Every structure is written in C-alpha cells, then in structure tokens.
Amino acid sequence: MSVVSTGANPPYVVTSPSCFGRPRFWSTVWTLAKAGKNWAENTQLARLRHLDRLYLYCDRRFGTDALDIALGDANAFLVHLMVNDFYAELTSNKDYTFADVQCWDAVRLFTLHFARYWAVGSEEWRSVVSSMTGTGRMRDPKRGRVRFIRALPDVTLTELLSVAEPGATRNPFESLAIQVRNWLVVLLLLLCGLRRGEALLLTVDSLKHDLDRQSGEVKYWLDVTTTDDEDRRSSKPGIKTSDSHRQVPISADLASLVEVYVAEHRRDDGTTRFLLTAEDGGELSAESVNKLLAKLSAAVSPAALQRFKERSGGKQRISSHDLRHTCATVRYGLFIAADADRELAFQRMRAFFGWAIASDMPALYARAAIEDDLMKSWTDVFDKRVDVLRGMTV
C-alpha cells in the first residue's frame, strides 16, 4: 500500500511504489501546511489515498515521480496538463462512483493549494487557479435520484426501542450487561446525535456535571473529543473535523444510565478507560456496533422493518447514522418550536451536531422535519422509557 503510517508528524504519507518507498514530497508538504493541520486523522488518510491515485496515474502516464518533479519546478503548464488528464480519466466512465467524486475533490484541493501560492507572481498559475475553480466538483453520481429521508419512521423507532430495552422479552442479547451497554449505545446515537466514532471515543470521564445557579438544577453534558489514551482497535475511531469537538447536553436520566452502566455493567480488562467495551473488557469496535444494530434490526417486527425499508430506499438494517439522522430531524423541530428564528435554530443545530459554522446540513433536516409522524410520538416514546431508566438506578 502506498499510504503508510509514520508514527510521527504527519501521521500518514504517500510513498512511491519503488523498493525504497520514499515519501512523495509535495503531498507531505500539503499535509504539513496549515490546512492539513486542521484535518481529522481519518480525513487526512482518505485524502492521501485519493492523492496516491493521482501520483500513480502520473507515474504511468508521464514517468516516475513526474508530478513531484513538475511541482518542484513550479511548472504550471505541466501540472495543469497532468491534473486535467487525470480528471478526464476519472470521468471517462459514465458509471464513476462516489469514491471518484471524493478523489477529484482531494486532487482539486491539493492543486489549488499550491496554485494559489504561486499565483501571486505568475500569470500561468493564476490560469490554473481559474481553471480549477471553474471545473468545480464532479457531479455526485447519485444526484438527481430520489433522496430518501433516513429518519426512522415512527413505528420503526417505537419497535427498535421496545426490542433494545434491557430485560425486554424480544431483546436478542442474553446477558443483562450487554443489553445495558447496547441500550446506552442506541441512546447515545439517538438522543445525543453522536457519530459512531464519537460514541466510541467517549471515556469513563466524559460525563460532566455542574450546578446551574439560576435554576438550582444539576446540568449534565458529554465532552465529545479526542483522548490521549492508548487505543488498541485496528480501526481507530476519530473526530471528523475540528468543529466536531463539542459538549453535548444530556438529561439527568441518560446521565444516570451512564453512571449505572459504568458502576455495575461495564466490562473492564483493567487497561482501557474508553466508556463502551466489549465482552472481554477491551475497547468496543465500530464493527461490533454495526453487528449489534443489525441484530436489533432483525428482531424488529416485519411490518416495522418494511416501513423502514420503504422510507430508506430498501435498506435492510438500521445503522448508527440512521439514528443520528433521526435525532437531527427531531432536534430541528424542537429548536424551531422553542424559537421561531430559523437561522438561530440552524446555529444551534451546528453546535449540537458538530457541523461547521457555515454548514448547510441544518437545511436538509429542516426539509426532513415535515415528516411529522415522528415528531408527534417522540416525546411519548421517550416518556415511556424514562421509567426503565429510573428503574435501573434503584
């Protein structure tokens, strides 16, 4: 593989396929630049893998290390030719994939980074900037198709929670400890809108509380961020962007569930501080989250699962992102109900879900929120489960 881990800074580099495996110079410069420093590790890895495709194409088409040589010579004409040829290669197949779209985005950002730097004193590089800007992004191959709203239908949400409750007769997991952990996973994704990786990064110290002096109530929140703790998972979870580091407010009931889980049900091998653990006491993996949701999905009634398939465009199981989508759809309705200011609701959404300040994601959920069957039952569904949470703290 041409993208390797360094164990240093930057954490990953693109290397040549030669026996020496030397790092590609200008891709390394890019990741060490100001823009690269703000990327999450997973984002950096993905973009470097896309750049590797460009480098290998240029090696085959123009000669070994041709791209780095052209950039080193600040040869605007040759760099532009290489990138344009690569774009033509990507789009020559009408069945190009979303991965191809992401690849072009990475190549375009890479080219623009250096072109804008050299454009200050070069008309040729200013032309490259103009061309790259004008070319824009490749069209998403899925664009134009029906976009299904991925918030869970009311009947599916109710069924999922009924199945996932600790002690439920239809719960497909035998161990109470595993049932409680899975219940916590579902609620973290559904009520807090966490991404799967964010939930897996939580530690036993992520739950915080403080006294609100005005109301006299104790307020609880989760610190969603990275940690210096050793992570032994082969596929390490990460924070998506710098905006994803945040504090997510939670209810006293959910805080109690976290505390009960840690005190009574969390498996601990004595070496990990991550909140969610596997049966052997090690860190819970992303693959395990996918499997537990698949097993819960299979236990949902056929009618409820069919409704979900119709809503989602044929999906066979509920995913972690479906729960996040559901949370976002409902949260928009709650935010707009509290204050009719649409832009204020959007800003609250961005802060709650860890989106950039200019992200247009809230607008997507504003449109999705017209599915009011979910809104009407949201409060009732969770009111019925509060007794379950409280019963576990006795």
- Three-class secondary structure assignment of 122-154: CHHHHHHHHHHHHHCCCCCCCCCCCCCCCCCCH
Give the three-state DSSP class for 211.
strand
Predicted local confidence at residue 49, as pLDDT: 92
Which long-range contacts (C-beta less than 8 Å, at least 24 apart) are formed by 266-273?
266/177, 266/181, 266/204, 267/177, 271/230, 272/229, 272/230, 272/232, 273/203, 273/204, 273/205, 273/227, 273/229
What region, left, alpha or beta, does residue 314 occupy, with left being phi > 0 and alpha being psi -120 to 50 degrees?
left
Q: Which pLDDT belongs to residue 150?
A: 66
For the residues of 19-85, what is the DSSP string, one character each? TT-PBPHHHHHHHHSHHHHTB-HHHHHHHHHHHHHHHHHHHHHH-TTHHHHHHHTT-HHHHHHHHHH
pLDDT of residue 139: 61
- The CA–CA distances, whole Å, from 206 to 201, 276, 369 equal 9, 11, 30
**pTM for the whole structure:** 0.66
Range(s) within the chain of domains with CATH label 1.10.443.10: 154-391
Instruction: State the DSSP H helix or E strand holding residue 186, giving kind and residue range, or none if neither.
Output: helix 176-191
pLDDT for res 197: 94
Strands (E) in the chain, as ranges, are 3-5, 12-14, 207-211, 218-224, 246-250
pLDDT of residue 388: 44
Nearest to 284 by CA among 171, 188, 163: 188
Identify the residue whose tokens are 């800007």. Answer: 133
User: What is the CATH code for 154-391?
Assistant: 1.10.443.10
Q: Per-residue pLDDT tens, the chain, 394 aa: give them.
A: 588 887 777 778 888 887 667 899 999 999 888 656 677 778 888 899 999 999 999 999 999 999 999 999 999 999 999 998 898 888 777 677 878 888 998 999 999 999 999 999 899 999 888 888 776 666 655 554 434 456 788 889 889 999 999 999 999 999 999 999 999 999 999 999 999 999 999 999 999 999 888 888 899 999 999 998 899 998 889 888 888 999 999 988 899 999 999 999 999 988 999 999 999 999 999 999 999 999 999 999 999 999 998 877 788 899 999 999 888 888 887 787 777 678 888 899 999 999 988 787 887 777 666 544 455 555 555 554 444 444 443 3
Residues present in the chain in total? 394
From the centroid of its chain, how far is CA 368? 19
Confidence at residue 297, expressed as pLDDT on a 0 to 100 scale: 96
Q: Which residues of 266-288 are buried (b: 16+ CB within 10 A; e: fewer)?
A: bbeeeebebbbbbeeebbbbbeb
pLDDT of residue 91: 79
